[in-house]
Chains A and B, each alone.
Chain A
Amino acid sequence: MKQYLHDEDFLKKVKTCLDFNMEQMETETLVRLRRIRHYAMSAGKRSFFVIPDRFYKPAVGLMAVACVIIMCVFLCFRSPEIPNINHMEDMEILSCGDNLGLYEQLDFYSWIAKESRHAG
């Protein structure tokens, strides 16, 4: 009991001493503390959507890995480029049994026809 009262007295003295120390704080420190508080208030409010720090880095990492995987999958498994087959006329020409020489000279014949029309 005596020890307890002794401790109580000691702790009271410690508290008084610490309070005194706090009251004697330099003006510069007080000003900086006030500035820090205003900064914390304004900076804290600015971050509307808050992700806790412990989740932030893993989340960013996971997102980056997911993006890389998606890109790889897209590049590896995309279907090979199929040539645009809208040249049905070409196919018809190739499939019919006509002499291909006629078609090879088709541009020349067209030119002659055009020239003769102009001349006429």
Chain B
Amino acid sequence: MQDGDNRMNIFLASVERRAFCMARISAENREDALDIVQDTMFRLVRSYGHKPEKEWHPIFFRILQNRIRDYHRRSRMRRRLQVWVPFLGYNENGQIKDPMDAVQDADALDPMEQAAVRQSVNALEAALRTLSVRQQQVFLLRAWEGMSVKETAFAMKCSEGAVKTHYSRAVHRLRRILEDWEI
């Protein structure tokens, strides 16, 4: 049992950063991304911890994709609510306004310096955000996580044909947006 826990811990440590980055690209908000990752980890440990270790990886990403989709569903609902109840404290992204967001971080790097280093990363993230949620998820799972078409189809709960279509469209769109992109 102790060994199983240890293996689960190692597995989660190996995927947590990647999962967070995927969630943040999709959610555009660090706190929401952390919530998504926490929920994903919790569900994996609670409901699938007893499964063979080799199944954890696809299941983890399947849960993650479900959480991301749920997040977008809830955001859409919040935006609709905001139309009817405008005094609810949501910003234009459908997230709750936090006064602390307006406070500048004293320890942050110089904005110019930061911009120079992260320019290409930001451009890529911005381009990724222009994709639909499905295309974004397929692209990240295939191109970054290195999943096969079959594994991606399992994680996305869709057919392999749909994965190929989404992936192809995502690649073409990104190539068009990032035509002069350099890293």
By a beta-carbon cutoff of 8 Å, the part of chain A in contact with chain B is 7, 10-11, 13-18, 20-22, 24-25, 29-30, 32-34, 36-37, 39-41, 43-45, 47, 50, 52
Contact = CB atoms under 8 A, between A and B. Distances in A.
A58 B30 CA distance: 33
A93 B174 CA distance: 105
A36 B45 CA distance: 12
Nearest to A33: B16
The SS class assigned to the B binding surface is helix
Interface string B37-76: 1100110111101000000000000000000000000000
Contacts of A52: 47
B17 A25 contact: yes
A37 B171 contact: no
Contact of B9 (A18, A21, A41): A41
A28 to B, nearest CB: 9
5 contacts: A13-B181, A34-B13, A40-B41, A41-B9, A44-B49
Q: Which 6 A-B pairs have the closest CB atoms?
A: A44-B45, A40-B41, A44-B46, A40-B42, A36-B38, A21-B121
Interface string B115-159: 001101100110000000000000010011000000000000000
Interface residues of B, number: 36
Contacts of B5: 41, 45
Contacts of B175: 7, 10
A40 B12 contact: yes
A29 B171 contact: no
B8 A41 contact: yes
B183 interface: yes
Contact of B41 (A7, A32, A37, A47): A37
Given A18-B21, A43-B46, A44-B46, A11 B171 contact: yes
Given A10-B171, A13-B183, A17-B124, 13 more contacts: A14-B143, A29-B30, A34-B16, A36-B37, A37-B13, A37-B16, A37-B41, A41-B5, A41-B8, A41-B45, A43-B42, A44-B44, A47-B46
